[in-house]
């Protein structure tokens, strides 16, 4: 095989054609006709392959078969060549184009008022950096609550739960008042929805009274303070009411949000009536609130009390979707919510020292509880379905 002669394919078995030494007649016929040029203008031919293999070079160089190069335009000849890897990715894009693209994107996302919104946001950041903002004695940050907390809760209230509000005129637009509501939902989402509903309808901030557990959690406690919540004790409640704040309380506590789904909309005990005593001492009205829809967001079908004690929580809920579906089971079901504020119960007509009368406190507490319970039954009869 070493001495065999290699015949290129397509040469009809005749050596010497297609070997690169000379073009075939068919190839010469395809070459464009060009005028003959003097030999002095011909480019220097590359050395033949025989020289690369160490063989003797022919006495006469082979004629160049390369077609003549076309003339180059003068402008292209003087332009410096730039390789792709040396070119900057932003080269050649004017600053005005970037500004126009940013303005178009901001207009598409934030609407026509994007410039004032951006200016307000930058002013907010400047105040935060310089410390030029106000926080009251309870840790309430009104600017953060209105700009971020309410903005985050509003789409949930309007789009997910589709909250329908009734009797909002019964909530005072100024002065101290105590809003008393039923509690449900396994997780206290109803308190957050009540806050954003009152703020959007009458422009007031509801100051919730939270349980001890809320202020023992690392991140939740800070958020609760900034949003206006405080510890559910008589001293803080009375100071807020005397200061003209709108205070919210959920007397059922963990017994209300942790009750089984079979006992939905059945009010639990309202404690010892401490909220009534605070209202009697400050002379503010009590506004009963009935919330329908929160019972269905996390239907509680079970509990793990042993693990709950280890974790230090009042209960560890089991729902049809949690913990079976993991984090996906934490998404609340989109039930239809109805909020109805009842007529205020006045407390300024009672004589001084009425808060020290346990029978009077019990009667007012029972009156508030019965008002909320009857309103719940009425709303349940009016609701078409759970999710509509």
Mean pLDDT by 10 residues, the chain (388 residues): 52 52 57 53 48 48 52 52 55 72 74 76 81 88 93 96 97 97 93 97 96 90 94 93 97 92 93 92 97 95 87 88 89 96 94 90 96 97 90
Pair 383, 337: CB distance under 8 Å: no
**H or E element in which residue 209 lies:** strand 206-210
Domains in the chain, ordered, with CATH?
153-297+332-382 (3.40.1130.10)
Task: Give pLDDT, residue 129.
Answer: 85
Task: Give pLDDT, residue 161.
Answer: 97
φ and ψ at residue 66, rounded to 5 degrees:
-70, 130
pTM above 0.75, yes or no: no
Task: Give pLDDT, residue 51.
Answer: 46
Task: Give pLDDT, residue 96.
Answer: 78
Rounded distance between C-alpha atoms, residue 180 and residue 247, angstroms: 9
Which one, of 91, 118, 89, 86, lies nearest residue 103 by Cα? 118
Rounded distance between C-alpha atoms, residue 34 and residue 123, angstroms: 75
Starting at the edge strand that comes first in sequence, how are the strands of the sheet with 338-341 ordered?
164-166, 338-341, 286-292, 177-181, 246-249, 206-210, 230-231
- Burial classification of residue 278, based on how many CB atoms lie within 10 Å of its CB (0-12 exposed, 13-18 middle, 19 or more buried): buried
Residue found under tokens 């600053």: 95
The number of residues in the chain equals 388
């Amino acid at each position: 095989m070493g001495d065999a002669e290699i015949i290129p394919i397509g040469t009809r078995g005749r050596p010497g054609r297609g070997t690169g030494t000379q073009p075939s007649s068919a190839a010469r016929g395809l070459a464009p006709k060009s005028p003959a040029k003097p030999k002095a203008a011909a480019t220097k031919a590359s050395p033949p392959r025989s020289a690369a293999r160490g063989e003797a070079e022919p006495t006469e160089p082979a004629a160049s078969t390369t077609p003549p190069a076309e003339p180059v335009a003068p402008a292209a000849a003087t332009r410096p060549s730039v390789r792709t890897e040396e070119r900057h990715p932003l080269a050649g894009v004017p600053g005005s184009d970037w500004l126009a693209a940013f303005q178009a994107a901001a207009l598409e996302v934030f609407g026509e008022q994007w410039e004032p919104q951006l200016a307000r946001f930058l002013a907010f950041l400047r105040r935060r950096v310089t410390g030029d903002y106000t926080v009251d004695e309870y840790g309430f940050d009104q600017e953060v609550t209105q700009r971020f907390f309410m903005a985050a809760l509003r789409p949930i209230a309007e789009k997910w739960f589709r909250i329908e509000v009734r009797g909002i005129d019964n909530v005072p637009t100024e002065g101290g008042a105590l809003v008393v509501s039923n509690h449900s939902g396994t997780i206290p989402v109803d308190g957050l929805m009540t806050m954003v509903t009152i703020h959007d309808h009458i422009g007031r901030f509801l100051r919730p009274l939270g349980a001890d557990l809320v202020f023992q959690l690392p991140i939740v406690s800070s958020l609760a303070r900034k949003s206006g919540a405080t510890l559910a004790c008589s001293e803080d409640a009375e100071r807020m009411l005397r200061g003209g704040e709108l205070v919210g309380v959920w007397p059922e506590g963990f017994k209300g949000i942790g009750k089984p789904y079979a006992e939905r909309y059945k009010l639990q005990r309202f404690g010892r009536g401490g909220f009534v005593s605070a209202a009697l001492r400050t002379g503010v009205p009590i506004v009963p609130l009935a919330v329908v829809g929160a019972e269905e967001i996390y239907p509680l079908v079970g509990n793990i009390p042993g693990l709950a004690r280890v974790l230090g929580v009042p209960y560890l809920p089991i729902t049809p979707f949690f913990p079976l579906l993991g984090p996906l089971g934490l998404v609340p079901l989109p039930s239809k919510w109805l909020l109805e504020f009842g007529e205020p119960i006045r407390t300024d007509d009672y004589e001084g020292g009425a808060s020290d009368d346990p029978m009077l406190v019990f009667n007012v507490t029972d009156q508030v509880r019965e008002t909320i319970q009857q309103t719940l039954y009425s709303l349940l009869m009016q609701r078409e379905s759970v999710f509509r």
